[in-house]
Amino acid sequence: MSGLKIENLSMRFDLPNGTSVQALKDVSLNIAEGEIMSVLGPSGCGKTTLLNIVAGFLAPTEGGIFMNGHQVTGPNAERGMVFQQGALFEWMDVRSNVSFGPRMAGKREAEWGEHVDHLLDVVGLRDFKEKAVYELSGGMQQRVALARCLANDPDVILMDEPLGALDALTREKMQSLVLKLWKETGKTIILITHSVEEALLLGERLLVMAPRPGRIHKEYNLPFADLGVNADLREVKKHPEFAERREEILGMIWDMEEEIMGRAEESA
């Protein structure tokens, strides 16, 4: 097992008006198996593009993604994805949503039933198995999306601002759940977020990206994810290094945003 390897990744979008946008430039990264990494950056830094390339929804203009030794050319069940808005299937009940992956792989209920029910227990939706997904709250929908992803047993889980649309309280509970699931399953997780706190809490490794062209600006190795597995997240936030790192990263992102604004004013 060699984890995920991102090599010299560049992505250029050609616009219809003849210009082009360098969304990513020379991004190289190794992600070890079982690592949880959060990606942070101002809007336009290419973090969602990066995730879409890793998922296989986009082909990079240069470089490549290698997973377990072979190159990624399209989406498959090795890399599961959790979206900001759940992307659940409204025409299926909760259990059918969660068991979607195994069912599509042609497995019988005997093979996946127990695992799916266990996951529903873990995410606290045991009593909502038969419910239609549109009857659930946003937080519950997101838990269904997590369980659906895990039920398929992917090697890597990609999360695109999975908690972005939730209210603050639900969000905190979900952050704990993500850590718990990470520890329990040992999956490799890449998580994109807008929230500095969330990135600090959930990232064993934290990647700050800078825009124009999208590139890796700074990398951190952090202790908070490991601490958070067993402790209350609010306790983790009281850690002296937490506040320090938060201020540092916030300042970094502020500077980037100001630079973007300055450039926009110049060109205007």
Partner 1 sequence: MIVFLIYAAIFVISFFVVKYVVQKATNDFTSLKTVTFGDESAVKPNRVASVISVLTIFLLWGAFTGSKLVPSFVHAPGPFVGDATFTYTAEADGVEADDATVTVRVFQVGTDVEAPAVEPGEGWAKNDADTVGAWRSGLIRVDKNDEKSRGEGHKVVAVNGEPIAPGGSVQTEFGRIGMSPKGSLNFEPNKGWQMEPIWLPPPEAVLKRMGEIASEGYRDSTLWEHLGYSLFRVVIGFFFGALVGIPLGYAMGLSNWFRGWFDPIVEFMRPVPPLALIPLVIIWAGIGETGKIILLFLAALWIMAIAARAGVSGVAISKVHAAYSLGASKFQIMRHVIVPNSLPEIFTGARVAMGVCWGTVVAAELVAAEKGAGMMIMVASKFQLTDIVIMGIILIGIIGFGIDILMRLAEKALVPWKGRI
Q: Is residue 134 part of the contact set for partner 1 (CB under 8 A)?
A: yes
Q: Choose the stretch contacting partner 1; rule: CB under 8 A; options: 2-10, 17-25, 50-58, 121-129.
A: 50-58
Rank residues 75 and 251 by Cβ distance to partner 1 and give the closer one. 75
Rank residues 181 and 206 by Cβ distance to partner 1 and give the closer one. 181
Rank residues 94 and 196 by Cβ distance to partner 1 and give the closer one. 94
Q: Is residue 176 part of the contact set for partner 1 (CB under 8 A)?
A: no
Q: Which of 73, 76, 137, 230 binds partner 1 (CB under 8 A)?
A: 76
Rank residues 91 and 254 by Cβ distance to partner 1 and give the closer one. 91
Q: Which of 32, 59, 77, 250 binds partner 1 (CB under 8 A)?
A: 77
Q: Is residue 224 part of the contact set for partner 1 (CB under 8 A)?
A: no
- Compute the least distance from the CB of residue 192 to partner 1, in Å: 14
| Subset of residues 83 to 102 that bind partner 1, contact rule: CB under 8 A | 83-85, 87-91, 100-101
Rank residues 135 and 232 by Cβ distance to partner 1 and give the closer one. 135
- Compute the least distance from the CB of residue 258 to partner 1, in Å: 32
Residues 210, 200: Cα–Cα separation, whole Å: 17
Q: Which of 21, 132, 227, 260 binds partner 1 (CB under 8 A)?
A: 132
Pairing of strands 4-14, 20-31: antiparallel
Q: Give a three-class secondary structure readout of the chain.
A: CCCEEEEEEEEEEECCCCCEEEEEEEEEEEECCCCEEEEECCCCCCHHHHHHHHHCCCCCCEEEEEECCEECCCCCCCEEEECCCCCCCCCCEHHHHHCHHHHHCCCCHHHHHHHHHHHHHHCCCHHHCCCEHHHCCHHHHHHHHHHHHHHCCCCEEEEECCCCCCCHHHHHHHHHHHHHHHHHHCCEEEEECCCHHHHHHHCCEEEEEECCCCEEEEEEECCHHHHHHHCCHHHHHCCHHHHHHHHHHHHHHHHHHHHHHHHHHHHC
- 91, burial (CB in 10 Å: exposed 0-12, middle 13-18, buried 19+): exposed
Q: Is residue 74 part of the contact set for partner 1 (CB under 8 A)?
A: yes
Rank residues 84 and 195 by Cβ distance to partner 1 and give the closer one. 84
Residues 153, 137: Cα–Cα separation, whole Å: 25
- Compute the least distance from the CB of residue 70 to partner 1, in Å: 16
| Subset of residues 138 to 157 that bind partner 1, contact rule: CB under 8 A | 145, 148-149, 152, 154
**What does the binding site for partner 1 look like in residue numbers (CB under 8 A)?**
55-57, 74-77, 79-81, 83-85, 87-91, 100-101, 104-105, 132, 134, 145, 148-149, 152, 154, 158
